Amino acid sequence: MSFPLVLLQPGVRNESQDTELTTVKLTPNAHSQFQTRFVIPKQGSILDSNSALVWNVSWDGFDLTKVGYEKVVLKQFSGGLNSILRARFYIGGREIFSSQDVGHLIHIKRLAADPDYQDEMIDKEIGSNHSFYIDGEGQVVQGQDAFTLGGPSLRYSRPLGSYSSIPTSDKSIQCSILLSDIFSALESLSLPMQLDQMRLEIDWETGWNENITVLSEGDGNGGQDPISAARQSFSIQNPVLLLDYLTFNEDLRAGLAQTLQDGATLPYVHTSMSSKILPSQATDTTRTDDVLLALQGKLLMKMYVSHRFSDVINGTTEAYQLFNGRCRSQRGLDMSYNLFINDLALHDLPVDSETQQYSFLEMTHQGPVSLLPGCFEYNETFGDAPDEAVDFLAGEFAVGGQELPTTVANSQGVDATQIKDGLQGTQSYIGFDLSKYDEGSRVVPANAGYRVGSSAVILRLTQTSKGANVPETAPKTVQVFSEEVRFLTVRGGIVDTMEA
């Protein structure tokens, strides 16, 4: 047996590396069910953007004796992301980065993740479910998780339980996201630790209906009573930061300190959010709405649009809200759209087909968009029972070893129509790509995007209503996430931001 020559040379020895990576687990300085605050300690040279926020979502009213007929889960595709609402990053007491509706924005950006990654990684990180299979009638059915929350299975169990500090009895779901997922600026920036004190604030959304989907419930004694209001308690537990610090050698540290003192201007991407509610629409009419966006003078890169029907129609909370919460977008009947910048239409003609919309969304994501089949197109059979001859999505799936709609005695829950309407047509997002790319097809903030003049950016939506007390006639919420270029300025250790 011969050894590589390099291993036999007496001059070979261990070499010191220029950069050292250290990971620190940081608990919050203050925590409530509304807000969590972290003060980031000074350590190392750079705070790496791969640092992560980790938290547990818990059903405080969980009862282990009722797991046979009670099934409570997080939202279908976004999981625990619905629980994180806003985030702010401060340096020296000044708000430097902010992110509105963080969970929804992260959900939109993850639409382009590989299907296997969604199923095998994202679902485990946030408690969602992207898996599916084709049944005997050729319909798409949601995949099954572990058999039971109370059993010994080592597989992933999606039903939600209560939090415990004892790992063997903890039945909550732990969620984790990167800081670069929360703040788009950190996708291209790393923060030197020689700056003033850094503080991170997270605002939580702990509303029961916004976070929880009740799939099956009952009283176990032959009655059909739903889960009582006293047990509808959702909470955020054990939030921590896993911080990655990079430590440089003396020469690099000295160079970094000199750069911070002399001054530097760094471009980054900031994501802003605009929201508008479109008023109710007369029955059997076609109407055009213009959404004016206050983006004058901005340097835009990408825009993502969520178009949501009302959560409650005629006093009933609709299935698409039950299964998705606010992390959804729905295509209207005969919908067409366009974007006007500097009084010019972005598309030569209004986008009026699902295939065009999907293609433009893929271009915005710079990759294939992976969705559950049936989730992008308009739901033509809303309110009708699923039929394998008509509907692509079956009105059934399994969770925790229980087939839904449930056949368990003494329980009730979602029916087949709700399952279909809760999934079909709920991920129909709109995308606009205004970026410029380098040779590697990567968006570079320094190369910027589309310069907006003094005119407002206008999103134009046209759609039809078809009947009374249906989603098309009720008010709709339009949410627009806009990526824009900004500059981070550092001089004498003082940090500030400015428009590009």
Residue 2 pLDDT > 60: no
pLDDT of residue 7: 47
Higher pLDDT: 259 or 223? It is 259
pLDDT of residue 55: 97
For the chain, domains (ranges, CATH) are 18-405+412-499 (2.70.9.10)
User: pLDDT class for 154, splitting at 50, 70, 90?
Assistant: low
pLDDT of residue 4: 53
Tell me the percentage of the chain whose pLDDT exceeds 70.
91
The pLDDT tens digits of the residues spanning 21-59 come to: 888 899 999 999 999 999 999 888 888 878 999 999 999
User: pLDDT class for 213, splitting at 50, 70, 90?
Assistant: very high
- Most confidently modeled range among 46-50, 146-150, 424-428: 424-428
pLDDT of residue 122: 93
Higher pLDDT: 310 or 252? It is 310
Residue 5 pLDDT > 60: no
Query: What's the predicted TM-score (pTM) here?
Result: 0.91
Average pLDDT of span 146-158: 74
| HEC sequence for the chain | CCCCHHHHCCCCCCCCCCEEEEEEEECCCEECCCEEEEEECCCCCEECCCCEEEEEEEECCCCHHHCCCCEEEEECCCEHHHHEEEEEEEECCEEEEEECCHHHHHHHHHHHCCHHHHHHHHHHHHCCCCCEEECCCCCEEECCCCCCCCCCCCCCCCCCCCCCCCHHHCCCEEEEEEHHHHCHHHHCCCEECCCCCEEEEEEECCCHHHHEEEEEECCCCCCCCCCCHHHCCEEEEEEEEEEEEEEECHHHHHHHHHHHHHCEEEEEEEEEEEEEEECCCCCCCEEEEEEEECCCCCEEEEEEEEEEECCEECCEECHHHHHHCCCCECCCEEEEEEEEECCEECCCCCECCHHHHHHHHHHHHCCCCCCCCCCCCCCCCCCCCCCCCCCCEEEEEEECCEEECCCCCCCEECCHHHHHHHHCCCECCEEEECCCECCCCCECHHHCCEECCCCCEEEEEEEECCCCCCCCCCCEEEEEEEEEEEEEEEECCEEEEEEC
Residue 265 pLDDT > 70: yes
Residue 95 pLDDT > 70: yes
Residue 441 pLDDT > 50: no
pLDDT of residue 195: 83
